[in-house]
C-alpha cells in the first residue's frame, strides 16, 4: 500500500500494469493464486484485511475513517464494515481507478505477472458493495486542507515510501479526532529512490524516532498499561530490533541469532543497504545484520497472540542479576510462608511460589550455592 508524492520518481512504478496486477493479487487474490506451493507462511497472507481487523478496536464508535495509501482498496472495503463512512486515498491513479471500478460493478478482471513473459488471468468479485465508501487520488505529503477529521486513520506500509514522512506525521494530529485511533504499520525499509536519506526517521532507530514524534499527541496502545511482563528491559521498555556486525545474504530471513552461550536471542531478517555487497566482499566497518529481538517475538506470541502454551514449552534464560535479586527480595518479604525445609533451596522456593500465587511449574535453576534454607 503506497501513497507517493509526484515529486518522487519512485512513484512512477505504481502506474505500471505489472504493479497494478501485483497489488490486485496481493489484496484480492486467493491463497492458491498468491501461494501455489504446499509449504510456506500462508498465515502471513491477506495483510490488507488483517491490518484492519486485527489492529482496529471496533468496540469504539467509528463514524468517519480515512484509509491513507489504500492502493487498490481492500483495506478500505474492510473498514467500511465497521465504520459509518470511509474515504480511501492513494496517489496512484491506476490503483484508485481499479478501486473505483470495483465499487461501481463489484468485479474486475486483471492479469498478474507470473515469470518471464508469462502472465496469468485473474478476477476480483465483491458480493456486497458498501454504500459508505469512496475513493480519491491524493498526496499524503500534501493532503487537501478540507479533508476532514476522522475517528480512525489507517496508513499501512506507507511511511517509508514517502519523500517527506514528516509532512504526513505533522498533519496526523489534525486528522485524528480526540480519542480516535491511528493505525500505522511500516517495516522502515527506507529506499533512496523514494525518500532521500536526510528525510529518513533517524536511520537505525526509526521506531524510536516515530514514537518521539507522535507521543505529544498520541498514546501507543501497548504502552497504556505497559504490560510487557517478563519481556521488558530493566528500564521498562520493550526492545524490538537490534543490529549486529555479522554478514547476511539472501534467504536468511528468519534464521536464528545465537549468542556465545548457545542462547537464541533473536531472528535475522535483513541487512543494511551496504550489506548487499557481502556476497562479493564483506566490509566489517559498513555491513550490519538487522535482527528481531527474541523478547519481542515472545511478547507477541504471549501477550498479543495469547499462545501461552507455546511459551510454557520453552526454557527462558535470564541474566542472573535480573532474576535472583527480585526473587530473594520476594522471599525475604514472606518469611512466614516458608516452612522449615531440610532439603534444597529449590524445594523451599517452590513452596514460596505457591504461597505467592505463582505457578509451581515455572521454576528457575541455579548453579552453585547461591542461597540456602539454612541461611534463611
Predicted confidence pLDDT, tens digits, the chain (376 residues):
333 333 444 567 889 999 999 999 999 999 989 988 887 777 789 999 999 998 998 888 999 999 999 999 999 999 999 999 999 999 999 999 999 999 999 999 999 999 899 999 999 999 899 999 999 999 999 999 999 999 999 999 999 999 999 999 999 999 999 989 999 999 899 999 999 999 999 867 888 899 899 988 998 876 666 778 788 887 778 889 998 888 777 777 888 998 888 889 999 988 887 777 777 777 888 888 889 999 999 998 988 778 888 988 888 876 655 555 555 666 555 555 444 545 555 666 666 555 555 443 433 333 333 333 333 2
272: nearest Cα among 313, 300, 243, 315: 243
Whether the CB-CB separation of 150 and 177 falls below 8 Å is answered with yes
Distance CA 95, CA 9 (A): 17
Distance CA 79, CA 62 (A): 10
Among 245, 174, 186, 180, which residue's Cα sits nearest to residue 211? 186
Q: Could you state, in order of their start, the residue ranges of all structural domains in the chain?
A: 9-223, 229-312, 319-376
Q: 9-223: what fold?
A: Rossmann fold (3.40.50)
Edge-to-edge strand list for the sheet holding 85-90: 133-137, 85-90, 64-68, 150-156, 176-185
Query: Which of these, 101, 93, 63, 95, lies nearest to 79 by C-alpha position?
Result: 63
Among left, alpha and beta (phi > 0; psi -120 to 50; other), residue 204 is left
* 140, 91 contact by CB (below 8 A): yes
- Quick check: helix, strand or coil at residue 277? helix
DSSP single-letter state for residue 204: T
Residue among 223, 159, 161, 152 at smallest CA distance from 186: 159
Backbone phi and psi for residue 53, each to the nearest 5 degrees, phi listed first: -70, -30
**pLDDT score, position 289:** 87
- State the helix-helix crossing angle for 165-175 and 206-214, rounded to 10 degrees: 40
Res 248: pLDDT: 79
* Contacts (Cβ under 8 Å, ≥6 apart) of 66: 86, 87, 89, 147, 148, 150, 152, 153, 154, 175
Strand ranges across the sheet with 289-293: 241-244, 289-293, 264-271, 256-258
What is the pLDDT at residue 372?
34
H or E segment to which residue 23 belongs: helix 17-28
Q: How far apart are CA 361 and CA 333, in angstroms?
A: 22
Q: Count the Cβ atoms, other than its own, within 10 Å of residue 206.
A: 20
Query: Cell 489484496 identifies what position?
Result: 27
pLDDT at 365: 37
pLDDT of residue 351: 61
Output DSSP code: residue 202: S
Please report the pLDDT score of residue 222 as a whole number: 63
Amino acid at each position: 500500500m503506497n501513497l507517493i508524492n509526484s515529486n518522487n520518481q519512485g512513484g512512477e512504478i505504481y502506474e505500471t500494469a505489472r504493479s497494478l496486477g501485483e497489488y490486485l493479487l496481493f489484496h484480492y487474490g486467493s491463497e492458491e493464486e498468491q501461494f501455489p506451493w504446499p509449504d510456506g507462511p500462508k498465515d502471513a497472507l491477506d495483510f490488507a484485511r488483517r491490518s484492519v481487523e486485527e489492529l482496529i478496536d471496533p468496540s469504539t464508535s467509528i463514524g468517519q475513517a480515512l484509509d491513507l495509501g489504500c492502493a487498490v482498496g481492500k483495506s478500505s472495503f474492510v473498514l467500511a464494515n465497521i465504520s459509518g463512512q470511509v474515504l480511501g486515498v492513494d496517489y496512484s491513479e491506476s490503483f484508485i481507478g481499479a478501486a473505483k471500478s470495483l465499487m461501481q460493478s463489484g468485479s474486475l478482471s486483471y492479469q498478474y505477472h507470473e515469470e518471464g513473459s508469462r502472465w496469468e488471468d485473474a478476477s476480483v468479485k465483491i458480493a456486497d458493495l458498501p454504500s459508505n465508501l469512496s475513493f480519491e487520488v491524493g498526496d499524503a505529503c500534501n493532503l487537501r486542507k478540507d479533508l476532514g477529521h476522522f475517528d480512525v486513520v489507517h496508513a499501512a506500509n506507507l511511511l517509508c515510501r514517502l519523500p517527506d514522512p514528516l509532512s504526513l506525521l505533522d498533519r496526523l494530529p489534525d486528522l485524528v479526532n480526540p480519542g480516535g485511533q491511528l493505525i500505522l504499520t511500516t517495516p522502515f525499509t527506507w529506499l533512496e529512490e523514494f525518500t532521500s536519506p536526510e528525510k529518513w526517521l533517524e536511520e537505525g532507530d526509526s521506531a524510536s524516532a516515530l514514537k518521539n514524534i507522535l507521543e505529544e499527541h498520541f498514546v501507543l496502545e501497548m504502552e497504556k498499561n505497559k504490560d510487557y511482563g517478563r519481556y521488558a528491559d530493566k528500564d521498562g521498555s520493550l526492545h524490538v530490533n537490534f543490529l549486529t556486525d555479522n554478514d547476511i545474504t539472501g534467504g536468511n530471513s528468519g534464521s536464528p541469532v545465537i549468542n556465545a552461550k548457545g542462547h537464541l536471542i533473536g531472528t535475522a531478517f535483513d541487512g543494511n543497504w551496504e550489506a548487499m555487497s557481502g556476497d562479493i566482499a564483506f566490509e566489517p566497518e559498513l555491513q550490519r545484520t538487522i535482527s528481531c529481538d527474541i523478547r519481542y517475538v515472545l511478547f507477541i506470541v504471549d501477550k498479543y497472540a495469547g499462545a501461552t502454551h507455546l511459551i510454557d514449552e520453552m526454557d527462558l534464560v535470564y541474566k542472573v542479576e535480573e532474576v535472583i535479586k527480585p526473587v530473594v527480595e520476594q522471599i525475604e518479604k514472606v518469611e512466614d510462608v516458608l516452612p522449615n525445609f531440610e532439603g534444597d533451596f529449590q524445594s523451599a522456593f517452590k513452596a514460596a511460589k505457591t504461597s505467592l500465587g505463582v505457578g509451581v511449574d515455572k521454576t528457575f535453576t541455579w548453579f552453585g550455592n547461591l542461597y540456602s534454607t539454612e541461611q534463611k
